[in-house]
């Protein structure tokens, strides 16, 4: 028995001091391998008397198990050490500093971000929809009946008709996302929809692809006063100064009553100054959602009401940041971008200022 105690001490020490998985395995083989010292001892059991066997059998088995447990425990420690060493030596520094002098945020993206920040502060969520729309969402559900002249005002890009003669369109405005939202969400609804829109038009103030931000609020009590307050707060926050606004009656098929909102401005040389002067500039369309639109989306106009608005992002970006020609925005000229672009590392936020 004292032999076994000595064996145990010897191998326990060796296991404990094994400093690599290989060294540990060598110790394991020396003790418990086929020709290991403990295994050889076990073979002698056959030649023992039954009394001896009764004592030595369990003792040897116990020793074998104890050493096997020690090997396993040491193995876990060595494996953990190996993993930690690998992690330490193989780390990839994902936080490599970006060279912010290369690449910048396009002013349109910056302005959409600013708008999202302002409206988020008023409790609006951001919704999106597809650029390729069907006639129902782009026109019919928005109360443009088939053949209605207002459809022609949109200079629509049509896709090739399908087998049934249905033509998909490149959405002419972000308003179809109003329909998608009302059909998939229960009021109260409070969303803005930033996105690309398309019309067959190109000159100094029009590009075939441009950007809009749509807004929609639906609940049971919202009225025209909320619409005006919301948009007046928005423009002052957006231009980062007090801006006087004016609402003029207008017509859109999907709102009743409808209005356009103008802001006071002045031209000083080449510069346009928003908020002062004697001129008015139209910046967005808005109105109370037309009862027909609510019905088309399965909402009861006697129960629900709300307002909507839509504005051109590119033009607001031009006004805010003094860019003279809309077409330059999408010419992908690196010089233009490095002049008018924004740092991708500085996120627009209300606390430190938008821009
Ligand atoms: N969809 C209109 C356009 O592209 C803009 C618009 C006007 C949107 C009034 C609205 C709105 O939601 O209420 O010209």
Q: Are residues 83 and 113 in the same domain?
A: no
Q: Looking at ligand 1, which atom is closest to the CA of residue 215?
A: 12
Listed residue (300, 298, 294, 310) closest to 143, CA to CA: 294
Q: Answer yes or no: is 100 within a domain.
A: no
pLDDT of residue 279: 92
Q: Are residues 195 and 253 in the same domain?
A: yes
Q: How far is the CA of 239 from the centre of ligand 1 (A)?
A: 21
Q: Are residues 155 and 238 in the same domain?
A: yes
Q: Are residues 118 and 153 in the same domain?
A: yes
Q: Are residues 241 and 281 in the same domain?
A: yes
**pLDDT above 90 for 216:** yes
Least confident of 138-152, 159-173, 240-254: 138-152
**pLDDT above 80 for 353:** no
Q: Answer yes or no: is 325 within a domain.
A: yes
Q: Looking at ligand 1, which atom is closest to the CA of residue 287?
A: 13
Q: Are residues 32 and 143 in the same domain?
A: no
pLDDT of residue 160: 94
**pLDDT above 60 for 1:** no
Q: Which helix (H) or strand (E) holds 74?
A: helix 50-90
- pLDDT tens for 289-314 read 999 999 999 999 999 999 999 999 99
**pLDDT above 80 for 85:** yes
Which pLDDT band, with edges at 50, 70 and 90, does 144 fall under?
Answer: very high
Q: Answer yes or no: is 97 within a domain.
A: no
Q: Is 300 exposed, middle or buried (0-12, 13-18, 19+ CB in 10 A)?
A: exposed
Domain end marker among 33, 57, 89: 89
Q: Are residues 308 and 214 in the same domain?
A: yes
Best mutation site among 214, 217, 249, 290 for ligand 1 pocket (most ligand atoms within 8 Å of CB): 214
Listed residue (272, 276, 267, 271) closest to 242, CA to CA: 276
Give the whole-angstrom CA distance, residue 38 versus residue 315: 86
pLDDT of residue 96: 72
| DSSP annotation of 349 | B
Cis peptide bond N-terminal to 257, omega within 30? yes
pTM (2 decimals)? 0.72
Give the whole-angstrom CA distance, residue 31 versus residue 240: 80
Contact 306, 222 (CB under 8 A): yes
pLDDT of residue 100: 61
Domain of residue 70: give its range.
Answer: 2-89
- What value does the mean pLDDT take over residues 257-278? 90
Q: Answer yes or no: is 96 within a domain.
A: no
Domain end marker among 89, 116, 149: 89
Domain of 261, CATH number, reads 3.30.930.10
Number of domains in the chain: 2
Q: How far is the CA of 335 from the centre of ligand 1 (A)?
A: 33
Q: Are residues 250 and 290 in the same domain?
A: yes
- What value does the mean pLDDT take over residues 145-167? 86
Give the whole-angstrom CA distance, residue 354 versus residue 120: 13
- What value does the mean pLDDT take over residues 231-251? 95
Which pLDDT band, with edges at 50, 70 and 90, does 149 fall under?
Answer: confident
Enumerate residues lining ligand 1, CB below 6 A: 173, 175, 214, 252, 255, 285-287, 308-310
Which pLDDT band, with edges at 50, 70 and 90, does 64 fall under?
Answer: very high
Q: Answer yes or no: is 101 within a domain.
A: no
Domain end marker among 59, 89, 119: 89
Give the whole-angstrom CA distance, residue 155 versus residue 145: 16
pLDDT of residue 343: 84
**pLDDT above 90 for 145:** no
Q: How far is the CA of 285 from the centre of ligand 1 (A)?
A: 5
Q: Answer yes or no: is 102 within a domain.
A: no
Best mutation site among 153, 173, 215, 230 for ligand 1 pocket (most ligand atoms within 8 Å of CB): 173
Q: How far is the CA of 69 from the centre of ligand 1 (A)?
A: 75
Q: Are residues 183 and 271 in the same domain?
A: yes
Average pLDDT, the chain: 92
pLDDT of residue 2: 60
Q: Answer yes or no: is 349 within a domain.
A: no
Q: Are residues 243 and 301 in the same domain?
A: yes
């Amino acid at each position: 028995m004292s032999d076994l105690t000595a064996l145990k001490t010897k191998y326990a020490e060796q296991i404990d001091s094994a400093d690599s998985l290989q060294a540990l395995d060598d110790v394991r083989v020396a003790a418990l391998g086929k020709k290991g010292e403990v295994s050889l001892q076990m073979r002698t059991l056959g030649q023992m008397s039954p009394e001896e066997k009764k004592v030595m059998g369990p003792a040897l088995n116990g020793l074998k198990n104890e050493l096997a447990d020690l090997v396993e425990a040491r193995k876990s420690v060595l494996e953990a050490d190996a993993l930690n060493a690998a992690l330490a030596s193989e780390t990839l520094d994902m936080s490599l500093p970006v060279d912010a002098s290369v690449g910048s945020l396009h002013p349109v993206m910056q302005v959409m971000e600013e708008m999202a920040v302002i409206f988020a502060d008023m409790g609006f969520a951001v919704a999106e929809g597809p650029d390729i729309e069907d006639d129902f969402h782009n026109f019919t559900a928005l109360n443009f009946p088939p053949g209605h002249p207002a459809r022609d005002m949109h200079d629509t890009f049509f896709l090739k008709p399908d087998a049934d003669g249905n033509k998909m369109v490149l959405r002419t405005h972000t308003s179809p996302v109003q329909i998608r939202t009302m059909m998939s969400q229960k009021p109260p609804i409070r969303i803005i929809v930033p996105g690309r829109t398309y019309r067959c038009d190109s000159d100094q103030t029009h590009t075939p692809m441009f950007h809009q931000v749509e807004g929609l609020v639906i609940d049971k009590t919202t009225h025209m006063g909320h619409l005006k307050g919301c948009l007046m707060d928005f423009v002052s926050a957006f231009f980062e100064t007090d801006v006087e606004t004016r609402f003029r009656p207008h017509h859109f098929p999907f709102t009743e009553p409808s209005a356009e909102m103008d802001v006071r401005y002045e031209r000083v040389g080449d510069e346009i100054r928003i908020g002062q002067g004697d001129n008015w500039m139209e910046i967005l369309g808005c109105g109370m959602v037309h009862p027909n639109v609510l019905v088309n989306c399965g909402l009861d106009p006697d129960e629900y009401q709300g307002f909507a608005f839509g504005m051109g992002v590119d033009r607001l970006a031009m006004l805010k940041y003094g860019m003279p020609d809309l077409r330059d925005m999408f010419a992908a000229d690196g010089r233009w971008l490095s002049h008018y672009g924004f740092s991708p590392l500085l996120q627009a936020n209300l606390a430190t200022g938008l821009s």
